[in-house]
Amino acid sequence: METGNVLFAFGLTLLAGLATGIGSLLAFITRSTNTRFLSLALGFSAGVMIYVSFVEILAKAKVVLTAALGEGPGTWAVVGAFFGGIALIALIDWLVPNYENPHELHSIEEMAQGIESLPRDQSHDFAKLHRMGLFTALAIGIHNFPEGLATFTAALTDPHLGIAIAAAIAIHNIPEGIAVSVPIYFATGSRRKAFKLSFLSGVAEPIGALVGFLILLPFFTPVLFGILFAGVAGIMVFISLDELLPAAQEFGEHHLAIAGLIAGMAVMALSLLLFL
């Protein structure tokens, strides 16, 4: 495994994770969310991730696993790993309370309105708001571990594929940055603290990639790679269907979200065709 490929994959994962900082900056420089653009962007991200999962990642995982295990056992391993990835991210989602769950996205206006609508005797409960931001940052960190491993694995295998996945992950990390920074800013009045915590929550993504890579490196065989790759596909499909598409439709019109989805699929398909 070449050092250059590893560094490239880690760099992509780092950039994707730190996109939470972009969300934090947006929360400070704008007083409203551009819902139409966000809807298109989230739908686009979902389209990229769904298309590449089914068309590219699962296909590569099947080639590797059937070559190593045989047609029947290899195909069973692909399907099992795919749903195993879904089960893993669904379990993480279930363990994180809905209120602090970064997969339950909110716009800048919704978060600010929610804070301002607290009862008068609680409207300045800064400790409560600060705790909300800390829990959200922790939840994002937990979610970003498998996402970081997914981005890293894809980039390590196919740099072109890794760039597409890193871009899709980065788009969906932007609203998560908003979810951390808004309550922290309201609680402390410090943009620096809010941005710092939002920025650090995104660091969990490259850390997850690095920890996963170091743990799995001694056991990195074609079979393990195939299982991991199929699991990555499951993780990305779940994120797309559970988070990105519902959020895209909530922020904008249904047809706008679907247009973004189709555009993401088309761009991903074209990019794969260009590298045949």
Residues whose CB falls within 8 Å of the CB of residue 263, separated by 6 or more in sequence, listed in order: 40, 43, 44, 47
- Whether residue 100 contacts residue 135, with contact meaning beta carbons closer than 8 Å, is answered with yes
- Whether residue 198 contacts residue 182, with contact meaning beta carbons closer than 8 Å, is answered with no
Residues whose CB falls within 8 Å of the CB of residue 143, separated by 6 or more in sequence, listed in order: 89, 92, 93, 96, 102, 103
Residues whose CB falls within 8 Å of the CB of residue 124, separated by 6 or more in sequence, listed in order: none
Locus of tokens 């890193």: 166
pLDDT at position 74: 95
Q: Where are the domains of the chain?
A: 3-274
Sign, Cα dihedral of 60, 65, 71, 75? negative
pLDDT at position 167: 83
pLDDT beneath 50, residues of the chain: 99-103, 105, 107-108, 111-112, 114-124
Phi, psi of 226 (to 5 degrees): -60, -45
pLDDT at position 116: 47
Q: In the numeric block, which tokens belong to residue 119?
A: 């009862």
- Whether residue 6 contacts residue 215, with contact meaning beta carbons closer than 8 Å, is answered with no
pLDDT at position 96: 65
- Whether residue 27 contacts residue 246, with contact meaning beta carbons closer than 8 Å, is answered with no
pLDDT at position 213: 78
pLDDT at position 30: 57
Rounded to 5, what percent of the chain is helix, strand, coil?
90, 0, 10
**Model pLDDT for residues 133-166, shown as the tens digit of each residue:** 666 666 666 767 777 877 888 788 778 778 888 8
SS3 2: coil
- Whether residue 232 contacts residue 149, with contact meaning beta carbons closer than 8 Å, is answered with yes
